[in-house]
Amino acid sequence: MSVRLLGVFAHPDDQALLCGGTLARYADGGADIVTVCLAGAGADRGSTIASAHRLGIRDVIVTDYASGELPERGTELDAICIDLLRSLQPDVVITFGPDGMNREQDHLAVHASMARAFFSLDRGRRSTSPLTKLYYGAWPQQHLRRALGALRARGVSTDFVPDLERWGTPDSSVTTIIDVGGQLDRKLAAILDQSPPSSPSPFRNLSGDMLADLWGHEFYRRAYPDPWVTGVIERDLLRGLATRPLGASAQDTAKAS
């Protein structure tokens, strides 16, 4: 028995940065994981695959869009997202939230299209397919500021966050926290797989204890299903799901549940 987890992002390095530990944790538990890079044309395919394999991702789908080319609003990207949901029939979907992690235009386009696709299909979901959960990856603002402060205190440049006000999700919107301490080394390695060798990594300047403190958890806003009880933090993306055999159709699973 297994669950299917689908991650939909813009660029090759997004998945490791936003939720690499989570993907690795559920892959370790036997989940079937596929991720999608919607603006990956021209990227180094080898480093993308190497990074994905570190995290236990079964397959990475890359579309023909290049970075900066995703349509801000358009039926084409929506149609791709609908096709992904229909063909892969995931139990859990992870993508960007409304802030796009850092309000980058490709990130915002992915969020908008995935949200429209997900909720347009949801209208008939209960009678045709198993319930799918939707999560938006989040970097809580206070946590992000603490992490950047720790880097600056050790003389590490934080110029990679040029406009801090554009980054981060309000802390009150976080519904779910996943402990990825056991997968942290693989997450950091997957991030480095996507970094140019000449580019210094801020992670090398922090102790193991500090890395675990600052990057040992990943944060989400659960967008579906609602309601969420404010103040009660969810600790498992799979909670409430009935697992199904790999290869089972949506109709078979619905009949069995």
pTM, two decimals, is 0.87
Average pLDDT over all residues of the chain = 84
CATH number at residue 72: 3.40.50.10320
Domains in the chain, number: 1
Residue 87 CB-density burial (10 A; 0-12 exposed, 13-18 middle, 19+ buried): exposed
Which SS3 state, helix, strand or coil, does residue 93 take? strand
pLDDT 10s digits, 156-192:
777 766 676 677 888 899 999 999 999 999 999 998 8
d(CA 82, CA 78): 6
Number of Cβ within 10 Å of residue 67's Cβ equals 16
Residue 185 belongs to domain spanning: 4-139+167-198+217-256
Question: Does 64 map to a domain?
Answer: yes
Question: Does 154 map to a domain?
Answer: no
d(CA 239, CA 26): 12
d(CA 233, CA 138): 14
Question: Does 144 map to a domain?
Answer: no
pLDDT 10s digits, 247-256:
343 333 323 2
Question: Does 39 map to a domain?
Answer: yes
Question: Does 57 map to a domain?
Answer: yes
- Where residue 195 falls among pLDDT bands split at 50, 70, 90? confident
